[in-house]
Amino acid sequence: YVDMKYVLVTGGVVSGLGKGVTASSIGVLLKACGLRVTSIKIDPYLNTDAGTMSPFEHGEVFVLDDGGEVDLDLGNYERFLDIKLTRDNNITTGKIYQAVINKERKGDYLGKTVQVVPHITDEIQDWIERVAMNPVDGTDKPADVCVIELGGTIGDIESMPFIEALGQFSYRVGPGNFCLVHVSLVPVLTVVGEQKTKPTQHSVRGLRGLGLMPDILACRSTQPLEENVKLKLSQFCQVPVSNIVNLHDVTNIWHIPLLLRVCHIKFLLLTESKFKCA
């Protein structure tokens, strides 16, 4: 489906930055433009789903309409976007390896040596393309945009097959159909009192070293970013200032779409006239 657009949301520096809410808020903006939006959450753990995981370990489980026990972020997607997702919208390492091993046992690989590249990475890409086509808004029409959230933090060893697969996937679908939003932390040292860009610089460098180039930086901070900090991030991360958005702490997660709207984020995938937002 050549018209499908993909937005990938990754996280850097530390976990728990709010990638799920950021991905959901991006979906809200795209939906406000009149686009159909679907979502996929990638969890790099080996469990096939979140059903057997302690809530103390991973938070509460969200149960989908089809009975799928998934990460709580899918609950955010459903609430923000008013859609109904399936268990296949949650990809885990366990699901991918299970699917590949089942194919190997059936002889689908015709005696080939089964490896992470290309078999695991191809399975990830095929899974994304297949699930992105499933209607989720109550109609029989596929979405225009698929928002993909990669769980964990850039540099995690368990994320590497997904990073490789998504790098290949960006090439497969073409640059006009793929946009990468990197969520990173801009901390303030209480003694010094200034916003530090070095953690984000290192995070973006690591991302680029793995073959992915961020189009948009979503910077988490306690207070709004200072203008000189944005300029420094732009210079060292090679991201235009207009594509650096500040998601500072707010009292309510429903303010996040408004922060994105106020910053006039211009998603690179919306360059075609039919995708432009008023």
Task: Residue count of the chain, please give it.
Answer: 278
Q: Tell me what pLDDT residue 1 has.
A: 44
216-223 mean pLDDT: 90
Q: Is 201 helix (H, G, I), strand (E, B) or coil?
A: helix
Q: Pick from 237, 161, 102: which is nearest to 169 by CA?
A: 161
pTM of the full structure: 0.90
Residue 120 — very low, low, confident or very high, per pLDDT cuts 50/70/90?
very high
Q: Pick from 34, 39, 53: which is nearest to 89 by CA?
A: 39
List, for residues 30-56, the tens digit of each pLDDT value. 888 888 999 999 999 999 999 899 888
Query: 181 to each of 37, 66, 174, 214, how far by Cα in Å?
Result: 16, 30, 16, 6
The phi-psi region of residue 107 (left if phi > 0; otherwise alpha if psi is between -120 and 50; otherwise beta) is: left
Q: Pick from 19, 66, 69, 14: which is nearest to 47 by CA?
A: 69
Asked if the model's pLDDT at residue 206 lies above 80, the reply is: yes
d(CA 175, CA 182) in angstroms, rounded, equals 16
CA 249 to chain centre: 20
Contact between 19 and 10 (Cβ < 8 Å)? yes
List, for residues 221-270, the tens digit of each pLDDT value. 988 889 999 999 999 999 988 888 888 888 888 888 888 876 654 443 44
Candidates 3.90.1720.10, 3.80.10.10, 3.40.50.300, 3.30.2130.10; CATH matching 5-271: 3.40.50.300
Question: Is residue 84 classed exposed, middle or buried when 0-12, 13-18 and 19+ CB atoms within 10 A define those classes?
Answer: middle
Residue boundaries of the structural domains of the chain: 5-271
Looking at the chain, the whole-number percentage of residues with pLDDT higher than 90 is 60
Structure tokens belonging to residue 97: 């390896």
Q: Tell me what pLDDT residue 78 has.
A: 94
Mean pLDDT over all residues of the chain? 88
Asked if the model's pLDDT at residue 273 lies above 60, the reply is: no
Q: Pick from 221, 234, 236, 255: which is nearest to 24 by CA?
A: 255
Query: 274 to each of 174, 265, 269, how far by Cα in Å?
Result: 18, 17, 11
Beta pairing, strands 145-150 & 5-11: parallel
Q: Tell me what pLDDT residue 41 has.
A: 95
Contact between 67 and 87 (Cβ < 8 Å)? yes
